[in-house]
Amino acid sequence: MDDAGPKSPPATAQRAAKAPPCTMVIFGAGGDLTRRLLIPAVYNLAKDKLLSDNFAIIAADRTPKPPEAYRDTLAQGVRSFVSDTASGGETEPFDAKTWEFIAARITHFAGDFTVAETYARLGDLLKTTEAQFHTGGNVLFYLAVAPQLFGTIVDRLGAAGLAQETANTWRRVIIQKPFGSDLASARALNARILKSLDERQIYRMDHFLGKETVQNIMALRFSNAIFEPLWNRDHIDHVQITAAETVGVERRANFYEVTGALRDMVPNHVFQLLSLTAMESPNSFAADAVRNEKTKVLEAIRPLDFEDVRRNVVRGQYGPGHINGVPVQGYRAEPGVDPHSRTETLVALQLEIDNWRWAGVPFYLRTGKRMARRTTEIAIQFKKPPFALFRDTPVDILNPNVLILQIQPDEGISLQFGAKVPGPRLKLGTVQMDFRYKDYFHIEPSTGYETLVYDCMIGDAMLFNRADGVEAGWAVVQPILDLWGEDKSVPLEFYAAGTTGPAGADNLLWRSGRYWRPLAPASEPGR
């Protein structure tokens, strides 16, 4: 909304200090993640002068590649990122000088990640790289590999002595999600990697935590006195968290068939949003202070028994439909998918948090593919005011106040409230006050990985998951996995692609007189 006063100039973030010297070893450097996200993130860090001059990359892959051809492939990935993130029809120029800085520091390394000999050679290369680029013996290992290799790589790093730190050097490991496939496997993986690493060396990544609005949830709550006093069961009716995609399974059928929407999204992405929304104020923004409070939220979620799962959890699968007016096939017709598959592509659930702040406030969560619109948002719906205040007037329905935290695609915050419609009669209308990051702050195109890679380099683990937090998330969903695995009669509801999901998801709210926030028809492709 516009105001009558002069507008403040766009604010810019305070420039952070350069990261310390280090070598970044990327396992799985031939994969899509490295080309599309990691190397563009490193490029952005270099462009922002946040990388040390004493920085190097060892790109580790199973298959040997000619060094120059490999660097050219990575350069194409950066150029595509720069082009794809252009706004307003104006392309951000590719910074050749920045790319030269990165390219000159990339060494391709080939080897089988399961054998000891590979790590002996890697150790020799690390010594050579340290001597050439003066990286100080600091190493960041990034595991951009299939989850089944996480434990093996950490085992081999430990056995080769490559995870060992000294008084003046550090060794850290970033592990991508999914971290385990259920509670037992997550516990086993934690126990396994902790044999070779200390907890402080482990950075379990959820890339959602690199998004500005996710980080801003804490700033919104704890730096604004107008919000925190209302952030409780006395004022909030319920909370909705939605992570909707318009894309289908694409070429990931082998992964998705054994994973599904629940494992893929809920214990990590969705629970990160829930814990940041519901957590108590930490005593500082130190990593463990924040992670302590987030874990307490997950541990306070009321445990589900099988009857709770049947009543409060809905699983759906998309069928044929239309996205942006284009017909798309159903999940069972996707390449590589079992034509009788019971894998869920959507899950919706109602949870309760048993603590003083949230007792009696339902949290409604939904995430799915091939839905009506791509959006990730948190909606805080406040209780309605007493209708008696408007007796003897035409006003008989009051819309609730809603605070919406938009995570993607257009990061921002909006507040919905009632106001009188101009005119002689008392008539209330609903208005919305919007804040968009791109309108107020100067935001450079980013992959979302920049903050997380930089934080690992400087040793700040606040945005990364700790072992107990990972296990607490899996503990919440384990009864759902158990029932779905044991009882084949649990219904799988179908919904047409391009819609808001199955009727069962709506019924979670309808039965208490509530409604999901609407998803407008799809207006853009992608996730």
* Catalytically annotated residues: 269
Structure tokens at 463: 């945005």
d(CA 394, CA 377): 33
From 64, 75, 78, select the one nearest 30 (Cα to Cα).
64
Side by side, the strands of the sheet bearing 106-110 are: 106-110, 55-61, 22-27, 139-143, 171-175, 202-204
Cα angle 334, 480, 184 (rounded to 5 degrees) comes to 95
Instruction: Write out the H or E segment, with its range, that includes residue 32.
Output: helix 32-33
Q: What is the DSSP string of 154-212?
A: HHHHHHTTTT--BTTB-EEEEEPSP--SSHHHHHHHHHHHTTTS-GGGEEE--GGGGSH
Name, in order, each residue with C-beta under 8 angstroms of 11's C-beta and a sequence gap of 6 or more.
Answer: 440, 441, 442
Pairing mode, strands 22-27 and 55-61: parallel
Please, how many CA atoms are within 13 Å of residue 21, restricted to the half-sphere of its CB?
Answer: 13
Let me know if 363 is exposed, middle or buried by CB neighbors in 10 A (0-12, 13-18, 19+).
buried
Handedness of CA 182, 187, 188, 190 (dihedral sign): positive
**Torsion of the alpha carbons at 108, 114, 116 and 121, rounded to the nearest 10:** 0
Residues 222-229: contacts with CB under 8 Å, at least 24 apart: 222/281, 227/403, 228/281
From 146, 164, 176, 141, select the one nearest 60 (Cα to Cα).
141
Q: Directed axis angle between helix 39-47 and helix 96-103, to 10°?
A: 120
166, β-bridge pairs: 169
Instruction: Write out the H or E segment, with its range, that includes residue 260.
Output: helix 253-265
Asked, as a colleague might, if the bond just before 178 is cis with ω within 30 of 0, I would say yes
Structure tokens at 78: 């950066």
Residue type, 269: H
Handedness of CA 413, 473, 182, 499 (dihedral sign): negative
Task: Give the number of other Cβ atoms within 10 Å of residue 375's Cβ.
Answer: 19
Q: What is the CA radius of gyration of the chain?
A: 24
